[in-house]
Amino acid sequence: MSTAPNDFAAKQVSPLTSLEEWEDDVLKRYPDPDSIALAKKTDEYRNYDEHTKDHVREFYRLNHTFQTYEFVLEKRKEYLKFDKKEMPVWDAFEFLNQLVDDSDPDTDLDQFQHLLQTSEAIRRDGHPDWMVLVGLMHDMGKVLCLFGEPQWAVVGDTFPVGCAYSDKIVYPEFFQYNPDFSDTRYNTRLGIYSEGCGLRNVMMSWGHDEYVYHMLKDHIPESGLYMLRYHSFYSWHREGEYDYLLDDHDRQMLKWVELFNPYDLYSKNPEPPDWNKLKAYYQDLVAKYLPKTLKF
């Protein structure tokens, strides 16, 4: 495995014990309306203690400090060439599963189980098969961690770079440590963009969403591509920020991103799906839409 060297010290690379700590934090911010109704809240946040809170805080301090416009351009140049690896789709899931969580081995499911639970929840609700595929593939970009990328350049809420940060982004106070915050090219409402330019022209902070979007952009319908590309852009799809960057197409696509989000957040279940029963369906689905190999 090729590991891209970076200039960050070990504790800056992995502030979280596992990527799940970020996901638990998102769930805490946007709790499942159904579990609230059922008052199931306490076991929902089983892992969320003070310790986790410190890790997540430190994670966002690093994320907001280092995700500059320039950093994003560099990462795009490095990864959107897709010259690191090429493997059959099913091998790619095994590769992704090398990302093990050391925090809580008995309750945490591996990455593939999260993908399968997401896609199965979508399938149960009768959505189109390409959306089931989106569920299955949406976190494939987390392999960036296996290429040596720091956690804060793989997961975390994403946001536009090159213009002022919304104060609805989690831990907005940490943006003051980002050099772009005091750079007059980037710190105005529109920054380098023009009013209503459309999200396709906006550089997002670097992470697994943008990467997997580029990986699959020739294979999945447009609405599915929005789900992949913006599923961690919470300040947009949950908080309604950045309206001035949107065009009509983005506004139409928002409903798809909103449709997808609950499946990602609320489908987690300690019981792993029975893969032997599901295998044939997913092999056909993958063969229908995806090429034999994926490039990383």
Task: Provide the binding-site residues for Fe ion, judged by CB under 5 A.
Answer: 139, 264
Lookup: tokens for 241: 């920020």
Q: Which is nearer to Fe ion, 197 or 238 (CB)?
A: 238
Lookup: tokens for 8: 């960050």
Contact 231, 202 (CB under 8 A): no
Q: Which is nearer to Fe ion, 135 or 191 (CB)?
A: 135
CA 221: distance to chain centroid?
Answer: 19
Beta carbons within 8 Å of 114's beta carbon, 6+ residues apart: 139, 268
Contact 168, 138 (CB under 8 A): no
Contact 12, 157 (CB under 8 A): no
Q: How many CA atoms, within 13 angstroms, populate the side-chain half-sphere of residue 197?
A: 15
Lookup: tokens for 124: 């149960």
**Dihedral sign of CA atoms 228, 233, 239, 240 in order:** negative
Minimum CB distance to Fe ion, residue 195 (Å): 29
Query: How far are the Cα atoms of 94, 227, 230, 271 from residue 209, in angstroms, in the given order?
Result: 19, 9, 6, 26
Nearest residue to 6 via CA among 148, 143, 137, 109: 148
Q: Which is nearer to Fe ion, 108 or 264 (CB)?
A: 264
Q: Which is nearer to Fe ion, 149 or 264 (CB)?
A: 264
Q: Which is nearer to Fe ion, 147 or 193 (CB)?
A: 147
Q: Which is nearer to Fe ion, 23 or 180 (CB)?
A: 23
3-state secondary structure at position 204: strand
Rounded Cα–Cα distance for residues 213 and 211 (Å): 5
Minimum CB distance to Fe ion, residue 235 (Å): 15
Rounded Cα–Cα distance for residues 70 and 72 (Å): 5
Contact 99, 19 (CB under 8 A): yes
Q: Which is nearer to Fe ion, 153 or 163 (CB)?
A: 153
Q: Which is nearer to Fe ion, 139 or 250 (CB)?
A: 139
